[in-house]
Amino acid sequence: MRGKNKVIKVLVIEDDSAIASMLSDTLGITGYEVILANSGREGLARAEEMSPDIITLDLNMPGMDGFKVLESLKNNQNTSGIPVIITTVSENEKDMRKSYRLGARKYIVKPFPAEVLRETINEFV
């Protein structure tokens, strides 16, 4: 839970630099410490080394997609307890069900208002 003086660390795993920048700006203005990763592998490494309070994760990434990242996060003892919010353009029910089955806490379809993401993060930190 959030303490009075604790800065919330949010890891944003997003391969689209424009979206990553927008998310970083939006969350930074709110007062969160934002950690960016532009690939699934980089995201896994940053999650391990930075111990974020929460992770936003895109599903559609080259190389290692978001499903593989989510599965790896949840199978790692050091990162399994970190809440993961999926942020994706996919409105596919199958993708949504698979995300929840793999351990995602929330599934948000892009584009979304910044306030939706901030409210969702506040639910879990």
Q: Candidates 3.40.630.30, 3.40.50.150, 3.40.50.2300, 3.60.15.10; correct CATH number of 9-124?
A: 3.40.50.2300
Sequential pLDDT tens for the chain (125 residues): 444 568 999 999 999 999 999 999 999 998 999 999 999 999 999 999 999 999 999 999 989 999 999 999 999 999 999 999 999 999 999 999 999 999 999 999 999 998 999 999 999 98
pLDDT of residue 4: 56
If one counts every other C-beta atom within 10 angstroms of the C-beta of residue 105, the result is 16
Return d(Cα 110, Cα 87) in angstroms, integer. Answer: 6
pLDDT of residue 2: 47
User: Which DSSP helix (H) or strand (E) runs through 99?
Assistant: helix 93-102
Residue 88 backbone phi and psi in degrees, to 5: -150, 160
Whether the ω angle into residue 111 lies within 30 degrees of 0, i.e. cis, is: yes
Read out DSSP for 63-98? SS-HHHHHHHHHHSTTTTTS-EEEEES---HHHHHH
pTM score of the predicted model? 0.94
Nearest in space to 65 (alpha carbons), one of 91, 111, 98: 98
Tell me how far the alpha carbon of residue 46 is from its chain's centroid: 12
Domain boundaries, the chain: 9-124
**CA triplet 66, 71, 77: central angle to 5 degrees?**
130
